[in-house]
Structure 1
């Protein structure tokens, strides 16, 4: 008999692995080409007609790179396209969203203390918000308002702050910051799929047909690529935030997210200026440091203490009614709740690890699968078995969970 919880956990691990690998490839190529474009020597009269060039050394070899402002006179037959990194990152990320936040909505997505949503309502809000983000952003970029890139970036920032507040008003803190990252990443990947790649195909088609490509397509693609460049670092922070309650479980989590976007801009501006040989903008270090200090200070604001249901509800009811529930309830209270509490009694802990609290019947029932995987099926929890959970207690957790899921 297959253990569905274990298989599900391994599937999540596999998808997460793919997501991380493809994200590294996408971010790496994005950073490289932005740095290359900014660092090109454009003060040379190149016989090839290229706009700029740069010599680079890596891995024991020398590379001579040239960039054409619109396109070369003839299209090479072995043109390399950079697109699958972006598509694979978004698709694997969306798969993670389904596996973790949609299928595990009652534990990760919905927080009754924030908004008492049904699972289908929360999933519908999630999907609609991702679609809204791209449509709104794209329409603004294509409007006359989008002609001024600075003005456009300011409006985009306002929209992101508004979405941060919205997400923290409807989802759990963990899901809110993750969704803000998904919202931004959707815009970034859609930029590649709907704008950058189609524009490049138009240029290629013109060259193949013997027509002179219009420079506007390259200009538009570069604008979207620049946006992606400045949004990358905040997205990485938001995707990792679910591991840090200080980021997502604070009452000021929406403001923390807003400052993270500014911090990402200052960091990227420093490196972009350096690559462009415009002088290192050292003031960005001070700005970034001050923003980080503000984030740290905001994170110490009171964590969410809104009342949660005492009794199990929703899908958690079957765990509270399964054979062995009373024993497991007492085991968790005795072995886990000293750390996983609103006010942990373990020395050195100020907040529950990963924001997971296991004090009430509701909290324990909702976290049944994680308790089973981390304290029953494996010995991951308690860490180093500091609370001395016995093998017989772990066996009871396994038997209880399997009884609940067998029906």
Structure 2
């Protein structure tokens, strides 16, 4: 049975790798086309809306854009869609593998809301669908004619969702879900709006009709939203590696400020690509926002103590490992070699929050994180870093044997 834990961890690794690869492809093409569109030379004669000469890899490229469509259907037409679809599909797969399958450890926080596994999964999946419905409804309303006001309202929706996720899930899962919520909107923009509109234009061209310009206008609005949402999504996807971002009751505020940072950074580059100047004030604003985020991550707060945690009853999942053969020995090893960092108030120098937000102080903590202990300190030497606390090979064998005895 213990081989399944190793296999599952490699599945997680493979899905994460795929997600990163496809996300790079999607983000790269998205940023390129936004920069291309903003930088087009529109002082030209002819049916094209603009053109651009570019040089890369030893070759020159002449790119032209048509505001609606060319007079006839091109013989060869490249579609950009699978980068987006594969990024979302691999992201959902990772959500399932890491957070749904590991809900007791990564998703559910009984101190916030005591959910069953299926209740937590239902809220997780349902929130993504509801988010798209709200966003799409706002865009299709008359607000779509007022892009700035629409963006302000969309930011308000993100603030509410950030707060809501933080009331239900662990801090780590809350930020991850806000990222998944936003990424779902971005991919749905491609699948439900941009691609269908482009197909209508293509069908009109094939039929010899003049395409309606409104379809391109709608697609461009959604594409612009995706452009401004990309950087915050990247931050939220990486946040689970940095407890300073999620290991605080102010994590939902941090997430909201990250969206504002994404706007300031993209505004600078979009202005530069459009040749409308370099608004350097955006970098000053970005630094200020980042400083505020760093301050929020270190504001002292009460997060319970060891005595209170020790007194809490064990869940069925925790009892499974706490009652397994070898637990007492494993408990002593973890207490002596790991708990100084993985604590509510770490005592190891320069460690302010428990790495990855994993606590290993109490019996419940250790039982809850049995799989992580097995993978990172039992069958591998990943923890502690450089074996700084000197876990002996015999102790690692004890940790591995304890986990195996429960499976």
The residue aligned with 2:258 is 260
TM superposition score normalised by structure 1:
0.97
The residue aligned with 2:392 is 390
1:65 lines up with 2:67 in the alignment: no
Q: Which runs of structure 1 show a deviation greater than 2 angstroms over 4 or more consecutive aligned residues?
A: 306-312
The residue aligned with 1:368 is 370
CA displacement 1:54-97 (0-9 Å, x = unmatched) = 00000110000000000001111210000000000000000000
Among 305, 313, 318, the alignment partner of 1:316 is 318
CA distance in 2, matches of 1:375, 1:271: 44
| C-alpha distance 164-2 of structure 1, shift in aligned 2 (>3 A) | closer
CA displacement 1:309-330 (0-9 Å, x = unmatched) = 6453132221111111111111
CA displacement 1:332-360 (0-9 Å, x = unmatched) = 11110011001111112111111111011
Q: Would the aligned equivalents of 1:177 and 1:241 in 2 still touch at CA under 8 Å?
A: yes
CA distance in 1, matches of 2:159, 2:377: 38
CA distance in 2, matches of 1:158, 1:380: 41
Please say which of residues 384-393 and 27-36 is displaced more in the overlay: 384-393
CA distance in 2, matches of 1:320, 1:21: 39
Q: CA deviation at 1:144?
A: 1.1
Tell me, what secondary structure is at the counterpart of 1:112?
A: coil
The residue aligned with 1:272 is 270
RMSD of Structure 2 on Structure 1 (CA): 1.1
Q: Would the aligned equivalents of 1:311 and 1:360 in 2 still touch at CA under 8 Å?
A: no
Give unmatched runs, 5+ long, in structure 1. Answer: none
CA distance in 1, matches of 2:75, 2:363: 65
The residue aligned with 2:30 is 30
CA distance in 2, matches of 1:138, 1:209: 30
Q: Would the aligned equivalents of 1:246 and 1:300 in 2 still touch at CA under 8 Å?
A: yes
Q: Would the aligned equivalents of 2:176 and 2:237 in 1 still touch at CA under 8 Å?
A: yes
Tell me, what secondary structure is at the counterpart of 2:54?
A: strand
Residues paired across the two proteins, number: 403
The residue aligned with 2:205 is 207
CA distance in 2, matches of 1:17, 1:127: 22
CA distance in 1, matches of 2:198, 2:234: 27
Tell me, what secondary structure is at the counterpart of 2:276?
A: coil
CA distance in 2, matches of 1:208, 1:114: 56
CA displacement 1:364-398 (0-9 Å, x = unmatched) = 11111100000000011111111111111111111
CA distance in 2, matches of 1:254, 1:282: 28
1:16 lines up with 2:16 in the alignment: yes
The residue aligned with 1:98 is 96
Q: Would the aligned equivalents of 1:250 and 1:304 in 2 still touch at CA under 8 Å?
A: no
Q: Would the aligned equivalents of 1:328 and 1:400 in 2 still touch at CA under 8 Å?
A: yes
The residue aligned with 1:329 is 331
Report matched runs for 1:5-404 at 5 Å. Answer: 5-46=5-46, 49-302=47-300, 305-306=303-304, 308=309, 310-404=312-406
Q: CA deviation at 1:302?
A: 2.6
Q: Would the aligned equivalents of 1:195 and 1:221 in 2 still touch at CA under 8 Å?
A: yes
CA distance in 2, matches of 1:161, 1:314: 35
Tell me, what secondary structure is at the counterpart of 1:66?
A: strand
CA distance in 2, matches of 1:303, 1:384: 31
CA distance in 2, matches of 1:91, 1:50: 36
| C-alpha distance 304-76 of structure 1, shift in aligned 2 (>3 A) | farther
Q: CA deviation at 1:303?
A: 5.1
